[in-house]
A and B are shown apart, each in its own frame.
Chain A
Amino acid sequence: MRLSGIRRGKKKLTDGMTLADRLLLAALVIISVSGLIFIKEAFPQGTDVRIEVNGKLAYKLPLNNNAIIAVKGIDGDTVVEIKNRKVRITESPCPNKICIHNGWIDRGAIACLPNRVTVFVDSSEGKENKAIDAITG
Chain B
Amino acid sequence: MDKKSINLLLRYSITPLLLCLLVSCGPGEKRLYKETRASMYTIVEITVSSDSQQKAKTAIDNAFGELERLAKLLNFYAEDSEISAVNRSAGNKPVRVSPETMEIIEKALYVSENTGGAFDITVGPLVRLWDFQKKIIPDRAIVKEKLKLVGYKHIVIDKEASTVFLKTKGIQIDLGGIIKGFAADKAVEILKQQGIKAGIVAIAGDIKTFGIRPDGGLWKVGIQNPRQQTDKDEITATIAMTDMAISTSGDYERYFIIDGKRYHHILNPKTGYPADECRSVSIIAKDGSITDPFSTGIFILGAEKGIKLLEEMGIDGIIVDKNGKIHTTPNLRGKLEIIGDSQRQKKTN
Contact = CB atoms under 8 A, between A and B. Distances in A.
Contacts of B223: 135-137
B330 A137 contact: no
A45 B246 CA distance: 35
B325 A70 contact: yes
B235 interface: yes
B344 A66 contact: yes
B343 A68 contact: yes
A134 B219 contact: yes
B202 interface: yes
B224 A59 contact: no
Contacts of B333: 53, 56-59
Given A67-B343, A68-B325, A79-B325, A136 B206 contact: yes
Contacts, number: 106
A70 B317 CA distance: 13
A134 B220 CA distance: 7
Name the prevailing secondary structure of the B interface residues. strand
Interface stretch (B58-66, B136-144, B334-342): B334-342
Contacts of A53: 333
Residue among B200, B235, B344 with the most chain A CB within 10 A?
B235
A136 B338 contact: no
Contacts of B224: 135-137
B327 A135 contact: no
Interface residues of A, number: 25
A33 interface: no
A120 to B, nearest CB: 14
A22 interface: no
B5 interface: no
A135 B343 contact: no
Contacts of A68: 323-326, 342-343
Contacts of A62: 338-339
A132 B222 contact: yes
A136 B324 contact: no
A20 interface: no
Contact of A59 (B200, B325, B338): B338
Contact of A72 (B221, B247, B330, B344): B330
B163 interface: no
A60 interface: yes
A81 to B, nearest CB: 9
Interface in A106-137: 130-137
A65 B341 CA distance: 5
Given A56-B334, A67-B343, A136 B246 contact: yes
Nearest to B343: A66
B220 A61 contact: no
A69 B47 contact: no
Interface string A36-80: 000000000000000001001111111001111110100000010
Residue among A58, A61, A137 with the most chain B CB within 10 A?
A137
B324 A134 contact: no
A13 B321 CA distance: 64
A61 B339 contact: yes
B124 interface: no
B248 interface: yes
Given A53-B333, A136-B205, A136-B247, A67 B222 contact: no
Contacts of B222: 132, 134-137
21 contacts: A56-B334, A58-B333, A58-B334, A65-B340, A67-B342, A68-B326, A70-B327, A72-B330, A130-B238, A132-B238, A133-B219, A134-B47, A135-B223, A135-B224, A136-B206, A136-B224, A136-B248, A136-B282, A137-B222, A137-B225, A137-B282
Interface of B: 45, 47, 200, 202, 205-207, 209, 213, 219-226, 233-235, 238, 246-248, 250, 252, 280, 282, 323-328, 330, 333-334, 336-344
Sort A-B residue pairs by CB-CB distance and give the 6 closest, nearest first. Answer: A137-B224, A58-B333, A132-B222, A136-B248, A61-B338, A136-B205
Given A56-B334, A65-B339, A135-B223, 14 more contacts: A57-B333, A61-B339, A65-B233, A67-B343, A68-B323, A68-B343, A69-B328, A69-B338, A70-B326, A79-B325, A133-B209, A134-B47, A136-B247, A137-B222
Interface of A: 53, 56-62, 65-70, 72, 79, 83, 130-137
